Amino acid sequence: MSRLRDIPIHVEPSAQIEPPARAGGLGGGVTAILSEAAGLLEKLADGGKPALIDLRSLPMSPRDRAALQGALGEGEVRVTLNADGISTLYETAIAGLWWVEHRNGQGDLIAELLEITRFPLILDSAPDEIATSAAALRALVHAGSTAHMAGEEHATRQ
């Protein structure tokens, strides 16, 4: 009886299809993104507005994506945001260049961006929410002091 290795099976190349790399080791798309980010960072440094690059709008192979992440590195700040699924934001080794990854409640990647900014927009607390929470905190302080006074009164009576 033939053994398993006698059965003529040959392993096909990986299903992970990779287009040919361009000169310099980075795919053409990666170089274009880095160049665009550099231009936007220069504008930000000159007092310009924050900007975003949508990484999903560009045709990138997994290798291109890994090359881009490798080229940008990771800096000092990493933030996890839990709002309708987990989002991860970290500043790359390039100050002012943030990698933003949004996932939905099922863990699927729903948006991936480079944000060129001093501080990612989504992390900022909203003015209307601050107003509401200030009132809520004031009510909490009031309730606390009332309870405290009630407690003192209770102790005095005893």
Angle at 17 between CA 9 and CA 32, to 5 degrees: 165
Tell me if 9 contacts another protein by CB under 8 A. no
CB 148 to another protein: min, Å: 31
Q: How far apart are CA 112 and CA 54, in angstroms?
A: 6
CA distance 90 to 102: 12
Among 44, 71, 79, 110, binds another protein (CB under 8 A): 110
CB crowding 23-57: b at 16 or more within 10 Å, else e: eeebbebbbebbeebeebbeebeeeeebbebebee
Q: How far is the CB of 155 from another protein (least distance, A)?
A: 40
Instruction: Single out the segment in contact with another protein by CB under 8 A; choices: 1-9, 76-84, 141-149, 150-158.
Output: 76-84
Number of residues that bind another protein (CB under 8 A): 33
List the one residue out of 66, 63, 71 whose CA is nearest residue 37: 71
The yes or no reply on residue 152 touching another protein (CB under 8 A) is no
Pick the binder of another protein from 44, 71, 79, 81 (CB under 8 A).
81
Whether the Cβ atoms of residue 78 and residue 90 lie closer than 8 Å to each other: yes
Q: Contact region for another protein (CB under 8 A) — 16-24, 72-80, 88-96, 148-156?
A: 16-24
Taking CB under 8 A as the rule, which mask of x and - marks residues 33-72 in contact with another protein? ------------------xxxx-xx-xxx-----------
